[in-house]
């Protein structure tokens, strides 16, 4: 079973740009490639920061672009989102019964658990899992079948990544989340967004994948703490394949327009042997 991950679309109203980029153009390009190359994808999940300022017009713009999605789309919220204008446009979005955009679903190959880490009342862009959301998480962990992998999705990482400007706005109570996971059940894979950089690793025995943003990127800066450095690096999406006891995560840069060639092609091999010219 395959699915696609996108994150941090940061939509604005139609016809507007953000940091010099049009989020609608980038999402449209991603959906076109996904439709052509992955017709077997069961769904697309976008892990938060759907809109940049939480504007109704931005969500309407996103909904319009998503009408061209080649597969069902599952939406999470991030720190730039606002629940009320989001639900005004996406009225059928996940609801855990307490107004949070959370869900738990069991598929043939895996179970999927998505969390709402948006803290609308917080003083910063850091995330939060309140009592109600931690309760939902515990209940889902206990209900998840043990005969298939449990995949968990949330916007904010619950740990430091080494990027100080982003670590100051991670999930505020990540230690509580870890304690709950350790006590009940750890997911087989944790997928996140928020950082605008591709990062992978293991957190207390839990493999994790942080997806690169669809909109602007965050620069690779391991020093600066008081400002967030941005870039126009190319976006990508992740194709996740779950089958036969394995979870494979492919990264695909869909706006790459450089050369493509066969490595065993004589012409390509001749070019590889050419000396580098000196100025």
- Answer yes or no: is 7 within a domain: yes
- Rounded to whole angstroms, the Cα distance separating 133 from 238 reads 27
- Answer yes or no: is 279 within a domain: no
Look at residue 257 in the predicted model and tell me its pLDDT. 86
Residues 6+ apart with CB under 8 A from 240: 2, 3, 4, 5, 151, 191, 247, 248, 249, 250
Instruction: Report residue 158 as tokens.
Output: 């619950």
Is residue 270 pLDDT above 90, yes or no? Answer: no
Is residue 277 pLDDT above 90, yes or no? Answer: no
Is residue 269 pLDDT above 90, yes or no? Answer: no
Domain enclosing residue 84, as ranges: 2-273
Please list the alpha-helical segments (H only) found in 46-102: 56-66, 83-89
Look at residue 202 in the predicted model and tell me its pLDDT. 98
Q: What is the mean pLDDT of the chain?
A: 96
The confidence band for 279, taking pLDDT boundaries of 50, 70 and 90, is low
β-pair partners for 202: 207
The confidence band for 272, taking pLDDT boundaries of 50, 70 and 90, is low
Residues 93-148 have pLDDT tens digits of 999 999 999 999 999 999 999 999 999 999 999 999 999 999 999 999 999 999 99
Q: What average pLDDT does the segment 45-74 reach? A: 98
Q: What average pLDDT does the segment 64-80 reach? A: 98
Residues 211-252 have pLDDT tens digits of 999 999 999 999 999 999 999 999 999 999 999 899 999 999
Q: What angle do CA 180, 95, 131 make, to 5 degrees?
A: 30
The confidence band for 276, taking pLDDT boundaries of 50, 70 and 90, is low
Buried b (16+ CB within 10 A) or exposed e, 105-129: eeeebbbbbbbbbbbeeeeebbbbb
Is residue 274 pLDDT above 90, yes or no? Answer: no
Dihedral, 9, 240, 32, 108 alpha carbons, nearest 10: -110
The confidence band for 12, taking pLDDT boundaries of 50, 70 and 90, is very high
Number of domain units in the chain: 1
Q: Tell if the pTM clears 0.75, that is, is over it.
A: yes
Residues 172-213 have pLDDT tens digits of 999 999 999 999 999 999 999 999 999 999 999 999 999 999
CATH number of the domain enclosing 182: 3.60.21.10
Percent over 70 (pLDDT), the chain:
97
Is residue 275 pLDDT above 80, yes or no? Answer: no
- Answer yes or no: is 205 within a domain: yes
Look at residue 271 in the predicted model and tell me its pLDDT. 77
């Amino acid at each position: 079973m395959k699915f696609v991950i996108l994150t941090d679309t940061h939509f604005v109203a139609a016809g507007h740009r953000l940091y010099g980029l049009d989020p609608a153009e980038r999402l449209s390009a991603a959906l076109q490639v996904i439709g052509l190359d992955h017709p077997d994808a069961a769904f697309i999940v976008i892990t938060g920061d759907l809109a940049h300022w939480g504007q109704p017009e931005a969500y309407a713009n996103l909904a319009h672009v998503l009408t061209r999605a080649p597969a069902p789309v599952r939406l999470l919220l991030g720190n730039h989102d606002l629940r009320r204008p989001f639900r005004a446009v996406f009225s059928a979005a996940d609801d855990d019964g307490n107004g949070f955009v959370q869900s738990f679903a069991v598929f043939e190959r895996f179970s999927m658990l998505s969390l709402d880490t948006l803290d609308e009342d917080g003083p910063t862009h850091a995330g939060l899992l309140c009592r109600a959301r931690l309760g939902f998480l515990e209940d889902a962990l206990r209900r998840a079948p043990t005969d298939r992998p449990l995949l968990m999705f949330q916007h904010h990482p619950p740990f430091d990544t080494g990027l100080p400007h982003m670590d100051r706005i991670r999930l505020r109570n990540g230690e509580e989340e870890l304690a709950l996971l350790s006590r009940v059940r750890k997911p087989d894979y944790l997928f996140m967004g928020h950082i605008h950089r591709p990062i992978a690793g293991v957190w207390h025995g839990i493999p994790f994948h942080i997806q690169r943003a669809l909109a602007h990127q965050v620069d690779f800066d391991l020093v600066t703490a008081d400002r967030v450095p941005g870039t126009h690096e190319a976006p990508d999406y992740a194709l996740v394949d779950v089958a036969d006891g394995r979870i494979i995560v492919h990264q695909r840069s869909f706006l790459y327009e450089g050369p493509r060639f066969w490595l065993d092609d004589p012409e390509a091999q001749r070019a590889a042997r050419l000396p580098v010219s000196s100025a």
